[in-house]
Every structure is written in C-alpha cells, then in structure tokens.
Amino acid sequence: MSLLEIKEATLKFGGVVAVNNLSLSVEEGEVYAIVGPNGAGKSTVFNLISRFYQPFSGSITFDGQNLLDRAPDQVADLGIARTFQNIELFDHATVLQNLLVGRHRHRKTSLVEELFFAPRVRREEIAHREAVEEVVDFLDLQPYRDKMIAGLPYGVRKVVELGRALATGPKLLLLDEPASGLSVEETQDMRWWIDDIRKQMGITVLMVEHDMGLVSSVSDRVLALADGAKLAEGTPAEVQADPAVIEAYLGVGAV
C-alpha cells in the first residue's frame, strides 16, 4: 500500500481547472518530486494534501486513512509536515521557539499541570528540547538558536522552516520549492539534507521544485504536471527525455 495516494482528484476555481483528474501515489521511503511550468498546479496539489482546499471530486488517502475527513489542523497529527514556498514562520519568536512549536502535537500534559509546571511537564519539556536540539544539530542551526526570525537572512529562514517541519516528527514531508531563493552552496546543503532525511530519518519526501539539478540528484521518481494534469511520470531521466514534457516547457515544434 502506498503511503500517500491521490485518486482522480479534480479542483476548479470558477471556470479554471487547477487540478484535472490527477492520480499519484507516493511510496514509503522514497523522494517524489513534482515539476512543471508556473501555474501547472504543483502548489495546489500540496494545498489539497494539507486540506487547505477541498477537491471537487476524487479521493486522497494517507497511511490507509481518508485524508478528506480531516481538518487542516488535524493533518499534522497524522504525520504530515510541510514547508511553504514563501516561508511561513512565527516572525516574532526565536529559532528555538519556532522549532518548539513543531512539538505542539506531541504535548500530552493537561492545562492544570502546565499552570503549576508539574514535574511531568518539566520532564516533557526537556524531552521536547532534546528532540529540537537534534534538529538543530542536524541542520547546523546552532549559531541562530536564540535569534529572532524577523532579523534572519532568507536562506537561514528557509532552513528553520525545514527544521520546524522535522521537529513535528513526520512520516511524510512536503517541501514546496526547497531551493528557491537559495545560493548554489545553500542548494547543495539542501540536497544533502533531503538525502539524509530520507536515508537516516526514514522520512518520505514529496517535493515541488524547479531546480532540475536538485530534482534529478535526489528524487527516485518525478511527476511532470501541466495545466493540472499528469504529463509524464518516471525516473528523473525518463521524465526529462519525455517529448510531452519538452513540449510543455519549450513549446510546440521545439523538438
């Protein structure tokens, strides 16, 4: 059984068909990339999975459960974490605080215990801090631990957002353009991290990305999307060689 399965999903905004009868399945342990020209519906697919949009028809299941039954705030509890194309962090909080919010779904103590800062709460806080410190070490965020997000450079914020997603302890990680706006070296780091996230942490990764260099070096399978519909699917090399993909990117007659 696939970890994530989208079957014949369709989403329309008025007369515009954003996602057209799209089916895809992501297997446990793989890195699956979605590519396609601007406006192809890549981010829309992410927003369907995060329950920001309700599909017009079709089904989405995750880990055998019907995802469409869940509200947006229940998606994290299933073990799905995501990053955003334009970085959505808590700007007036420190890096550490942002990562700790990632632990939100794991807090099990009651309001009264928390108000009195009971021993159980203390033990839990320490455990959460340890989990977050592992993420800090993994992503080399040590120098920024207590810095406010609002003052950090773009590249660092991008990494913090990845860290916050990891801190939730996900089974599936959705990365929306992880390399956009990053320098060559930062993109290189991102590549190692995605590799390690899959290999060391055993987290399945679904990403949307324009940088074909990054896509072909980390992904097992690639889906090319155009006008909300599947154009081609396969290994990075297969998809890049597909005539329909070349046509969608470069126009008719370019081959």
Partner 1 sequence: MEVLQLLVSGLANGCVYGLIALGFVLIYKATEAVNFAQGDFMMLGAFVTLGLTNAEHMNLPFWVAAPLAILVMAVLGYLLDFFVLRRLFGQSQTAVVILTIALGFVIRFVAGVIWGHEPQTLESPLSIGDINIGGVVLGMADVAVIVVTVLLTLFLYQFFQRTKLGLAMQAASQNQMAAYYMGIPVKRVQGLIWGLSGATAAIAGILFASKGAIDPNAGLLGIKAFAAAVIGGFGSLPGALVGGLIVGVIEPFASRYFAAGYSQIAPYVLLLLVLVFRPNGLFSQVRVKKV
C-beta of 15 vs 119, nearer to partner 1: 119
Interaction pattern, residues 82-111, with partner 1; x per rule: CB under 8 A:
x-x---xxxxxx-------xx-xx-x-x-x
Helix (H) or strand (E) holding 25: strand 16-26
C-beta of 82 vs 221, nearer to partner 1: 82
C-beta of 24 vs 80, nearer to partner 1: 80
Query: Footprint of partner 1 on residues 43-62 (CB under 8 A)?
Result: 50, 52
Q: Among 1, 14, 69, 71, which residue interacts with partner 1 (rule: CB under 8 A)?
A: 71
> Closest separation between CB of residue 75 and partner 1, Å?
7
C-beta of 197 vs 224, nearer to partner 1: 197
Q: Among 29, 39, 143, 151, which residue interacts with partner 1 (rule: CB under 8 A)?
A: 151
**Angstrom distance (rounded) from CA 86 to CA 180:** 9
**Angstrom distance (rounded) from CA 161 to CA 150:** 13
* Residue 68 binds to partner 1 (criterion: CB under 8 A): no
**Angstrom distance (rounded) from CA 176 to CA 154:** 15
Instruction: Give ∠ CA 46-152-216 in degrees, rounded to 5.
Output: 40
Other CB atoms within a 10 A radius of the CB of residue 226 amount to 20
Query: Footprint of partner 1 on residues 160-179 (CB under 8 A)?
Result: 164, 168
Structure tokens at 225: 């999307």
**Angstrom distance (rounded) from CA 231 to CA 111:** 51
Asked if 194 contacts 207 with a C-beta cutoff of 8 angstroms, the reply is: yes
Query: Footprint of partner 1 on residues 188-247 (CB under 8 A)?
Result: none
Please name which of 132, 50, 138, 130 lies closest in space to residue 98, comparing C-alpha atoms.
132
Number of residues that bind partner 1 (CB under 8 A): 34
Helices and strands in the chain: count of H runs, count of E runs: 10, 10
Structure tokens at 116: 């009195």
C-beta of 71 vs 252, nearer to partner 1: 71
For binding to partner 1 (CB under 8 A), which residues are involved?
50, 52, 71-77, 81-82, 84, 88-93, 101-102, 104-105, 107, 109, 111, 114-115, 117, 121, 148, 150-151, 164, 168
